[in-house]
Amino acid sequence: MSQPINIGIVGVGKIVRDQHLPALAKDKNYRLVAAASRHGKVENIPNFPDIEAMLDAVPELEAVSLCMPPQFRYDAARTALMAKKHVFLEKPPGATVSEVENLKALAAQNGVSLFASWHSRYAPAVEAARAFLNSTKIKSAAINWKEDVRRWHPNQEWIWAPGGFGVFDPGINALSIATHILPPMFITSAALDFPENRASPVAAHVTFRTSNGLPVTMDLDWLQTGPQSWDILAETDKGAMVLSGGGSKLAVHGKVVHDEPEAEYPMLYRRFAEIVRAGISDVDLAPLQHVADAFMLGKRNVVEAFFD
């Protein structure tokens, strides 16, 4: 086996503690050697206030995993790429399409790998859903992604700021799956609900048309109470398909055909190691482009103020 990749984490928050650190701890492809964060720390390794200090103090770093909010990710990614470090981008890969395009160019210029890590695309039943749909004639599809922001993002104000995506923060997970399993599609209309005291939407209804004319709808809601909904449905000539649980369970014609435990982040880091060792990048911008299009085409509706 190749020598472990010396990696550093930037931005030590909930997602890092819940997903990144456990995945790295079990992956022999990596050696976690440093962390940088304004607030959080990782035990038993050197910690720094920012990426610049980390890169200066730890020259043996080969790669960095960037897990701060998307509004602040470009500068950190550029710094790492210019220092010839491989870069793992937590989703969404940036606040705008154009800045991620620039990062792709910088990675190529500096001979390092860039990875846009769409974690939901690595959910256990996604590939099975893709294979099923590729074997059928699709008639229509619908995306229902509804969850409670107060449960999953308590007191995280950055998600409501400009560039924080609002309900498209989870919605982009749905789009990362849909753009992988459905034919190419584009937005025809969108309605976005903005709370009167927030700068990002709390709900959205989006309609798409695929390149061959099939209708696709997407409903996003960030104030869902009770059971959470992360489902993609398709009507096909082989029966109805339901990909549920954020991509963890697949049912066809009412019968569950695929159901496995979630292992998204271990698979993401496995993929990152593959592209680093192959000397390539993996940066699909389709989910981010759809979010940008929704904001560009979307009709803005002002709704009642939202409070945590």
pLDDT 10s digits, 109-140: 999 999 999 999 999 999 999 999 999 999 99
Q: What is residue 262's predicted lDDT score, i.e. its pLDDT?
A: 80
In the chain, what percentage of residues exceed pLDDT 70?
Answer: 99
Q: Which backbone phi and psi does 307 adopt, to 5 degrees? A: -130, 140
User: What residues are labeled active site?
Assistant: 91
What is the SS3 assignment for 172?
Answer: helix
Return all residues near 182 (Cβ < 8 A) that are at least 6 apart.
133, 138, 141, 210, 216, 234
Taking the C-alpha atoms of residue 283 and residue 281, their distance in angstroms, rounded to an integer, is 6
Q: Are strands 255-259 and 138-146 parallel, antiparallel or unpaired?
A: unpaired
| Average pLDDT score over the chain | 95
- Model-level pTM? 0.94
Q: What tokens appear for 12 in the block?
A: 């030590």
56 to 46, 61, 83, 103: CA distances (angstroms):
12, 10, 10, 21
Q: What is residue 2's predicted lDDT score, i.e. its pLDDT?
A: 82
Q: What is residue 118's predicted lDDT score, i.e. its pLDDT?
A: 97
Q: What is residue 231's predicted lDDT score, i.e. its pLDDT?
A: 98
Taking the C-alpha atoms of residue 93 and residue 7, their distance in angstroms, rounded to an integer, is 18
Which pLDDT tens digit goes with each residue over 229-288?
999 999 999 999 999 999 999 999 999 998 888 889 999 999 999 999 999 999 999 999
Which pLDDT tens digit goes with each residue over 285-298?
999 999 999 999 99
What number is the average pLDDT over the span 83-99? 96
What number is the average pLDDT over the span 5-9? 98
Q: Is residue 308 predicted with pLDDT exceeding 80?
A: no
Q: Is residue 96 predicted with pLDDT exceeding 60?
A: yes
**Where do we find the tokens 């104000």?**
157
